[in-house]
Each structure stands twice: as structure tokens, then as C-alpha cells.
Amino acid sequence: MSTMVVSHLRPGEGGALRLFASQEALLAFAIIGIAILVGLYNPRFLATRNLADIVLGNAYIAVAAIGMSMVIVSGNIDISVGSLIGVLATISGTLAVAGVPIILVWLTPLVVGILVMMLQGAVIAYLRIPAIVVTLGMLSILKGGLISVTGGRWITDLPQSFHLADIELFGILPMPVLIMVAATILAALWMRYSASGRAIYATGGNAEAARLCGVSPRRTVVMVFALHGLFAGIAALLFATQLKVIQSTVPPNLELTVITAAVVGGVSILGGVGTVVGSTLAAVLIAEIASALVFINVSPYWIHAVQGALILVTVVADILRRRRRQVGG
């Protein structure tokens, strides 16, 4: 794995800009193209209600994919995020039912998310255990822990004030979309223009070079995981508050959907390249495809196959594109 990272250095900024633009443009084009095609086949797909459901119901995936993008750009991976979201959603729901002040109900998952992910980041960065081992272990600890503690009981009777996802700003802007867009823009600007944001790319591109330039790859990895935990916390809140009940189990294969969004959004799995605008667009695209399957009478059971194929196509295209550029330059 380590040999792959070193050989791919970024070319000039101009090239990078064009690459990102093309990936994002491609995704936007795909989103609109699919909407038109499926709309022609079945006009009900284009109903405002359905389009709104696609975005509203999946905003939490986009938010989680922002953190996942950062993790992957830094040259790591996290497969525990689905379990963590399940745990955090249950924690916030349990607190809400217990009558804890709403601000604490909303803050606790964020804090716990940050702590759990920071712990993982520290083990990965300072004890040098591969991210896949740490996060696979954490996945089962969280998943097993959640089911053991709750016994899979559903949380019902959630207070009205708990439902963050139902709030509409100025009576028109739904909270999930607002959070998704704001988080994407803030994270994109931060990653692009701040020193610590650039440090993520430097760490993922070439950790040793980053170290020689005065960036601490270890501290960067811990920071990235802490932020990833924050976004997982926000995602958990959106997830928990959009339905009237919380199932207190881990949503199956959620981590795969989040990873798919990050990778398909143009985050190079080899580390060092990618933007979160792409991952948010990709999250919308995946949700759109899942919904479209139903409208063109294809069984929704195919969605994981579609996701896997999407990852493969994106990764292979990414690798071939880099290889061609290296040969050309």
C-alpha cells in the first residue's frame, strides 16, 4: 500500500483545478441527465416531493462523506463510520427521551463522535496501526456494543423539539439541506485555502515531504479524524431526527454508501487529491440512482451492486488518468 502513495505527486495547480472541475461537472451532468431520462420514462420521478425526498433523506450521507473525503485525502480509510452514526443517533435519541435540555441532546453526539474518531486517529498516527485494522475493530466494537446495550429496542416518543431535520428556516429552507450545503462550502473553502486544510493534501500526497515542509503528518491525521467525528455527529443528528423513531441498530452498509460518495466524488483513494463539493454531489447522485431504480421498475435490491460498480469505475478511471498523465509528462 505504501508504495502506491509515493509515486503519485500532484502536477501544477491549473491541472488540478481542471481535474476537479471536470469531476464535479461530470457529476452534475450525471445528476441532471438521469433526472431527465428517468423523468421521460416516468414523469412522477420529477415530482417536487420526490426530488425533495431524495435530497432531504440523504443529506446526512453527504455530511458524513465530507469527513470521509478528508480521511481518504489524508491517505487513510474509515469503515467504522456507519456504526458510529448508529451509536450517536441512539445516544441523542435516548437523551432526548430522558428530557435532557435540547442543546445537550444536540451537542453530545458531536462531542462523542469527535472523541471516538480522535482516539482512532491517534492509534493510527502515533501507534502506526493501519487504519483498516483500527476501524474494522472499532466497527465491531461499536456495532456489538450498541446491540448489546439497547437489545435493538426502538426509541419512540421523541419530543417535538428534538426533530432538527424538520426545522425549516424562514419557513422554506429545510435544515438538512441548509446544513449539507453550508458544511460542504465551509469544508471546501477550508480545505482549499487554510494552511491546515492544505496540510491534509500534503500528508496524503507524500507524508515524508510534508514533514520536511514543517507539516506534522501525525497531528494532521488526528485532526482529520476529529473533524470526521464532528461530521459523523452532525450526520447522526440529521439521521436520528428525520424519522419519528430511532431503531438503535447500525444502519446496514451505511459505511459503504459514505465511502462510495467520497470516492465517486473524485477523492482519489491513493490519497492527496479530491474535494468535498464532489463528494456531496456524488451523495446526491447515489440517492438519485437508488430512487430512480424504483421508478424504472428495477428492484432496489440492486443498489449495492450499483454502488460497488460506481466505486470500481471511478477508481479505475482515476488510476488510468494518472497513469496517462505520468507517461505524457
126 binds other proteins (CB under 8 A): no
We find the least distance from the C-beta atom of residue 2 to other proteins, in angstroms, to be 6
Candidate segments 36-44, 59-67, 145-153, 278-286, binder of other proteins by CB under 8 A: 145-153
CB burial of residue 210 (10 Å; 0-12, 13-18, 19+) = buried
Helix (H) or strand (E) run with residue 173 in it: strand 173-174
Nearer Cβ to other proteins (49/128): 128
Nearer Cβ to other proteins (38/259): 259
Q: What does the alpha-carbon distance between residue 211 and residue 209 come to, in Å, rounded to a whole number?
A: 5
Residue type, 73: V
- Give the HSE-up count for residue 91: Cα atoms under 13 Å, Cβ half-sphere: 22
163-222: contacts with other proteins (CB under 8 A): 207-208, 217
Of positions 15, 101, 159, 308, contacts other proteins by CB under 8 A: 308
Instruction: Pull the grid cell for residue 25.
Output: 461537472
Candidate segments 47-55, 102-110, 175-183, 297-305, binder of other proteins by CB under 8 A: 297-305
We find the least distance from the C-beta atom of residue 59 to other proteins, in angstroms, to be 21
**Cα three-residue angle 216-217-222, rounded to 5 degrees:** 100
18-77: contacts with other proteins (CB under 8 A): 77
121 binds other proteins (CB under 8 A): no
Of positions 27, 64, 188, 259, contacts other proteins by CB under 8 A: 259
Nearer Cβ to other proteins (38/263): 263
CA dihedral (306, 274, 57, 26) positive or negative = negative
Q: Are 202 and 86 in contact (CB under 8 A)?
A: no
Q: What does the alpha-carbon distance between residue 171 and residue 162 come to, in Å, rounded to a whole number?
A: 18
Of positions 98, 103, 127, 195, contacts other proteins by CB under 8 A: 127
Of positions 11, 182, 302, 326, contacts other proteins by CB under 8 A: 302
Q: Residues near 242 by Cβ (< 8 Å), separated by ≥ 6?
A: 56, 57, 60, 163, 165, 166, 176
We find the least distance from the C-beta atom of residue 318 to other proteins, in angstroms, to be 9
Q: Which residues partner with 246 through β-bridges?
A: 155
Q: What does the alpha-carbon distance between residue 78 and residue 138 come to, in Å, rounded to a whole number?
A: 10
137 binds other proteins (CB under 8 A): yes
Of positions 54, 235, 270, 273, contacts other proteins by CB under 8 A: 270
Q: What does the alpha-carbon distance between residue 132 and residue 55 come to, in Å, rounded to a whole number?
A: 30
Per-residue contact flags (x/-) with other proteins for residues 212 to 241, judged by CB under 8 A: -----x------------------------
Of positions 224, 263, 282, 286, contacts other proteins by CB under 8 A: 263
272 binds other proteins (CB under 8 A): no
Q: Residues near 159 by Cβ (< 8 Å), separated by ≥ 6?
A: 96, 97, 99, 102
List of residues contacting other proteins (CB under 8 A): 1-4, 77, 79, 123, 127-130, 132-134, 136-141, 143-145, 147-148, 207-208, 217, 253, 256, 259-260, 263, 269-270, 299, 301-309, 311-312, 315-316, 319-320
